Amino acid sequence: MATPAEKLDDSASFSAAPIGYNDTAWSILYGALINQMGMSPNNFQLLYPFTSWNWPATNLGYTVAPQYDFSASTPQWSATGAYVSSGTRFNDAYGQFLSVIMANTTDPNLQQQILVQQNKVQLAKNDYDTTYQQSVIAYQTDTKGTNDPVFDVWLGSFAGKSWKVALDQKDLVYQQEFANLQSLVAQAQTPGLTDALNQYKNQQFYTKYQDPGLSSFPAVPGWSVSQSSTAWVQQVLAGGGTTGNFSFTMADSAYDYKNTWAKGSTSVGNYFWNVAVNGEWQRVESFQSDQSLSVSVNFKAWDQVSITPGGWYNGGFVSFHKNGPFIKGFTGYKDDTGSTYMWGEGGAMDLMKTGMFVAYQPKIGITLSASAFKEFYQTWKASTGIRIGPFTFGGTTGSTTNTWTKSESGLTLFADSTSTTPLIFGITIKQLP
């Protein structure tokens, strides 16, 4: 049966899920994708919550906030991880990295000026970050952890506009201090630093928002996505998509996350099994006692789409300066000094998205034991949606309606997506440097 109902606003997705069965279910799904779909544990992250890939095509020099927020947000250090649109932006972390590289000069007066200015940059960034985190709390409270609308769109709304004003004020100070640092570093001789700073601030590598209501927002660092969702769906509908399928049972062994790039996984905040009844999502408890439960998943089409930072990013400079030299208070790797470190779990610039896995119109079959089927059947008949891990059928997720059909045959329940919006269910990551 289902637990007491929770509102269909998706706040249930971020309530505390029971550790044990829930995390085991997610890990079994992770293992099925690795073993049957060819994802690599060396760079794959299974993603939640349900994320729509509905980014419209844009004019040259423009992007939309959902594409920027998804591409730029730094992944969680976890094999199965949460996407949070208000998280740390990779391009911001990269800017901090550039600002704490020790400049090389034989002029002691210039060296001191640069050090003083680097400290001013960090103080300005800390001030901005404090306001940013306060705005994130307001955003997550208002949107209940759904990522809908994404953070920057929310900032342009009535609810977020006061935070937008405050952030703009803090950012103006930070940008001026950063520009002052650029001018001083240009007089030094650190190999490649001046070029990297100029490259990072080159507006040719930035894009404006095309979203309604966001025209006043400053340009953001550009990210390239190898395909547009519109073009991809058209290709699929023309018969050009690649089908895919995998299956798992709850009797399967949990995947050992120690074999993944993250060497582990945090407890997942989303319940694995949910059903929508009378406008509310409910956790399905009857499935948890059914060890014979099996699941088959079929995609009408699926693909891997690459995500690449624009020309503002210099990966070669990062690799060459992975050990700095850094100014006092910063290190490349974690040590016992308490310094801010760049690389590895918890580092200021630890991970970057390099791609995403997308799927179109998944069909899922859930085969139950006779007792579990009997217990759940009336709930199933009354349901208007069901969620299995990251796959959502029916209900309404923020502004996205996920149309579906349901059926049953014997002891098997079928959820068949008819939505024309693809979903993102995983990403590939790169560990830096």
pLDDT in tens, 189-230: 888 999 999 999 999 999 999 999 999 999 999 999 999 999
On whether residue 1 sits in a domain, the answer given is no
User: Are the C-beta atoms of 415 and 295 separated by less than 8 Å?
Assistant: no
pLDDT of res. 402:
79
On whether residue 73 sits in a domain, the answer given is yes
**Number of domains making up the chain:** 1
On whether residue 371 sits in a domain, the answer given is yes
User: Are the C-beta atoms of 200 and 98 separated by less than 8 Å?
Assistant: yes
Please tell me the pTM assigned to this model: 0.93
Q: HSE-up of 320 (CA within 13 Å, CB side)?
A: 11
On whether residue 150 sits in a domain, the answer given is yes
Residues of the chain with pLDDT below 50 are 3-18
What domain range includes position 134? 6-431
pLDDT of res. 1:
52
For residue 334, CA distances in Å to 90, 157, 347, 425 come to: 19, 39, 8, 31
On whether residue 123 sits in a domain, the answer given is yes
- Helix, coil or strand: residue 428: strand
pLDDT of res. 189:
87
- Residue 89 is classified by DSSP as B
pLDDT of res. 301:
98
pLDDT of res. 13:
39
* 63 Cβ neighbours under 8 A, 6+ residues apart: 207, 208, 209, 210, 220, 222, 223
pLDDT of res. 191:
87
Q: How many residues does the structure list for the chain?
A: 433
On whether residue 172 sits in a domain, the answer given is yes
Assigned token pair, 93: 């972390």
